[in-house]
Each structure stands twice: as structure tokens, then as C-alpha cells.
Structure 1
Amino acid sequence: MIFTCQPGFTDLLAGELSTHGFSPVEQGAGWVRTEGGPKTELPDLCFPQMALFDPVEIAADSVNALAAKITEQFLASAKTERFEGEWPFLFEEAAEMDGLGRRVKGVEKMVQENLKKRMSRVARLAVADKPRGVAQLRGLYVFFVDFKRAYVSREAFFGGQRRMADDEQAPSRSYLKIEEAYIVLGREPGFEETVADLGAAPGGWSYSASKRGAKIVAVDNGPLKGGAYNNYKIEHRMEDAFTFRPAPDQVFDWMFCDLVEEPHHVMENLIQPWLERGWCRRFVIILKFGRVDPLALLRDVRSPDSVFSRCATNIRVRHLYHDREEFTIVGELK
């Protein structure tokens, strides 16, 4: 398989894959090729953004030759298939290689033209975009590792990560993370649902929920800014996130938490009481791993004894497109 990730985190991707039985045999900026691994469905993985199944290596010197080989590979594998609706047609390239993107665009355009000549109806149904959300889909996926070599796959898994559009009223870039996290969970706050945003300042996550009509309690001693400031949907509590407690018998529909704190301290002293006592129904939590071993922290989160395993379901742990040295955990209480 080939797994892709955010550039700069390739070693962590390779390390995570190794813990799940995959054997990394080659890697570059933002990608790892593996052998072995589970024979059934993929485990829930944090760092991969896309995983290509059974990739076939294609090598050639020119754009024309690469496009011809990719076209023939697709036609040979698709000759017995029925295409009844839109299907993914995705070309991507390894990061940090100047000029490779232009070459890939040239190959992609030529493959499109080839398919229009050979399978015009099928070509019209091709969609050059990733699916929105977590999905495993059949299509045409081409990943270039350099100017002369690409891998072609017909089946891919997507972890839900994707680049999000900014909002000029959002008080911080963290707004992008919560917008992306909704896609990974497959749900977002609804109208009149309640949200406890712990460590809210400057208010990017609270602002995101307010746009959907939710009612937010933003807990932070710091000020709210931008679209979160004086927002009638947001009640700002000047309190410590670690000591804030819901009112008796109050259960929030959502709990948000993005704190610049040691992750085990956050899990033990904030997340654990919220989940064990059922103070929320769903959660989006970020844990910072800049000063701890990220893979050891992942093991702790996924441990059968962790508060997440004991109290929650539908858990997904992801290194988001907009995450830095952190990962995001989404889920629901059992």
C-alpha cells in the first residue's frame, strides 16, 4: 500500500504503520510505501490522509508515455466494470519537489483526453476531487513520487482530512481545525444544540458552532475576538477550563477542548471527568504532542484502559490537514 500524510510527519506515519503490522519499504516527503499489514479492513490510523490499495508502479520518461501507460492500466482493470455514477479521478504528487506538480497536471490532462476518446461516457462521470468525509472508494488514483515514476491504484481509503476555507470573521486559524473535524466525525453542531468550549479564547471554535445556530458556553480567562466577540450565541465564562463544571443535571450536546497543555494532564484532569460523568454527548479534542512521544501518546489514547475506550464510541483519531504538532480526537459517548 501507499499512505500519504502531511509533509514533515512522514517518520511518524511510518512509525504508526509499523505498530499495526505494515512494513515500510520506501518513503519520501509526505508518503510511505508498505508491504504486509492487516488482511481485512484498515485499522483506525491517525497520520494517513489517503491510503492506496495494491498500487501498480508506472515508469516512463515523458508526459506522453506516462499518460499512455496510466490509461492502459486503467482500461485493463475497468473493462468489466459498470460506471453508473460519478467516480473519483485523482492525481497527486509527493511534496517538496519543484515542478512536479506541473508535470502531474500535464499527465492528468492527457489521461483525461485519452479516456474521452476510449470511454467517453465513463470519462464524463469522473470527478477530480477527494470525497468529503471518511470513505473507501473505487476510482482512478495516481500518485507521483518523482518526475518519472508514479503508482496507480483503483481503490483508496480517505481519512476525512482536507483543506478548509477560511472565514474573515474567524478569530484564529484554529477555526479551520474544528471545521475539518466535523467532516471526520460526520456530524456538526445543530441549531440550538449546546456546546461547552473549554479553553475557548480567542474563540475560533465557538464562532464555528455559532454559525450553525448552536448555543455556546465559551470557558476561558482570555478574551474572545473577531466573530466570537459579543456574539449573542456565545456566553463567555471567565473561568479555568479545568475547574468549570456543568450545572446539576446539565448535559452538553458537544464538548470542545483545544488547550496548550501537557496532553496527559488534559486527559486525566479534564477529559476523564467529562466523559466518565457523562457531561457531554459528543466531543472534539486536540492533544498537543510537541513535548511528548507522539506514538506513545497514540498508544495511550487507544489503550483498552483509556477513558476514550471505556466511555466513548465512534472514536476517530486524526492528524488533520490543519493540525500542527497535535492530533484531533472525535467521538460520542456510549
Structure 2
Amino acid sequence: MSFPGNRSELPGGIRRLRFPHAAPSRSTLKLEEAWHEFVPRDQWDDRLAEGMQAADLGAAPGGWTWQLVARGMNVFAIDNGPMDKALMASGLVEHLREDGFVWQPPERLDWLVCDIVDKPSRVTAMVQRWLVQRWCREAVFNLKLPMKRRWEEVSRCLSGLEASLSEAGVRAEIRCRHLYHDREEVTVHVRLLD
């Protein structure tokens, strides 16, 4: 039993995606599923377009970066760890061995994606800074959930993000889902509306 508007229309509620063998990690499916969930398919050519600029914070070994490159985007891959060699050979990736929590883009980007393993509050605060500064137009990031008080932690992070954006005069649409390819985490999408 489910409520209209709060259920998946997919068989069994699961979006079945095929793992691309060229991708360096299975985490690539998390970002692909997020796009299917948060970006209407008829808007992909405009919002996930070739030539766009993106940053992947916590990029190594490149699962999420692979999705961006597959769409023809230019990517700043921020991580102290090594990136997949085949992915780097694309010519679309600039790998910077820096801390994703402090790195700043040289210009406004189209996308920020982040799958850093850290406290949800710390990840949310970092993404909040990006959005208040308008360093990106859209963001997809994961919040790794603590073992206890999960609902309270996610609610606190999202309400804090919403309040901060409102206080800064930033209009945005915020959505959060626990996707099939997520494990002990939820995926958040934010799109700036101005």
C-alpha cells in the first residue's frame, strides 16, 4: 500500500540500471540513479549537457566522475586518492589532490557532485557554502547516515540547509531520497532557481 505521489512507478519500486564496465567503481550507479530521480528525462539535454562544467568532491577512483565525463562534461576531480587512468585519458578531467571541504572552484560551475564519507552535518555545511556563494547551479550529494537517530539527523541537516539558503536570499528546490543504489545513506539534490 502506498500514497499517490509518494511511490515508485517502477516494478518493485526499483530502478534497474546496468553497470557500465568502463566505469571504475559501482558507485557510478548512485549518480546515474540520482539523475533519473531528480532530473526529468526530457530535460537531460539542457541540464546534463555536453560542455558543462562540474566538480566531483571525493572523486577517487572516479565512479561519479565517469558519469559526468560520459555526458561530455569537463570535471574538476577533487581527491587526494588516485583516479582511474582510463578516465584521466579522456582529457575532460582535471585531477586536483586537494581537500574537498576547502577547495573552491575558479568560476561558477553547472554541477557539484559529492560522495564524501564524513558526518552528514559536515557535508551539508560544505554544500551549503557552495550554494550560498552560488558556485554551482545544481548539486547532488550523499549524506552517510549514523547508526542511530537517522531521521533526526537528516531532518536537521535539510532544515538547516533550507534555512541558510532562505536567509541568504537563495531560492532553491531541495529534494532528498533513499535510492536503491544507496546503502547507509540518502541522496540530496538541490537546484538553484535564480
Q: Same fold (TM over 0.5)?
A: yes
Q: Which runs of 5+ in 1 are unaligned?
A: 4-36, 52-129, 132-142, 144-157
**RMSD value, Cα:** 2.5
Q: Show CA shifts across 1:289-331 (max 9, x none).
A: 0345220123124427635763453322111110000000112
Q: Show CA shifts across 1:131-169 (max 9, x none).
A: 9xxxxxxxxxxx8xxxxxxxxxxxxxx7xx612110111
Larger Rg: 1
1:209 Cα deviation from its structure 2 partner: 0.8
Identity percentage over the alignment? 36
TM-score by length of 1: 0.51
Change in CA separation of 1:184 and 1:218 when aligned onto 2, cut-off 3 Å: same
**Which residue does the alignment assign to 1:298?**
154
1:178 Cα deviation from its structure 2 partner: 0.5
* Maintained 8 Å contact 2:30/2:182: yes
Question: Is it true that 1:319 corresponds to 2:178 in the alignment?
Answer: yes
Q: Show CA shifts across 1:231-268 (max 9, x none).
A: 31111111110110112xx1000000110101111112
**Which residue does the alignment assign to 2:80?**
221
Q: What is the alpha-carbon distance in structure 2 between the residues aligned to residue 202 and residue 305 of structure 1? A: 28
Q: What is the alpha-carbon distance in structure 1 between the residues aligned to residue 154 and residue 23 of structure 2? A: 30
Question: Is it true that 1:166 corresponds to 2:124 in the alignment?
Answer: no
**Which residue does the alignment assign to 1:276?**
132
**1:257 aligned to 111, 114, 124, which one?**
114
TM-score by length of 2: 0.84
**2:31 aligned to 175, 178, 186, which one?**
178
Aligned residues: 184
Q: What is the alpha-carbon distance in structure 1 between the residues aligned to residue 58 and residue 79 of structure 2? A: 5
Q: What is the alpha-carbon distance in structure 2 between the residues aligned to residue 319 and residue 176 of structure 1? A: 14
Q: Between the two structures, name the one with larger relative contact order (CA 8 Å, sep ≥ 6).
A: 2
Q: Which runs of 5+ in 2 are unaligned?
A: none
**Which residue does the alignment assign to 1:208?**
67
**Which residue does the alignment assign to 1:285?**
141
Change in CA separation of 1:253 and 1:303 when aligned onto 2, cut-off 3 Å: same
Matches within 5 A, 1:1-334: 2-3=1-2, 42=5, 50=8, 130=10, 162-186=15-39, 187=44, 189-225=48-84, 227-247=86-106, 250-268=107-125, 270-303=126-159, 306=162, 310=166, 311=170, 313-334=172-193
Change in CA separation of 1:290 and 1:228 when aligned onto 2, cut-off 3 Å: farther
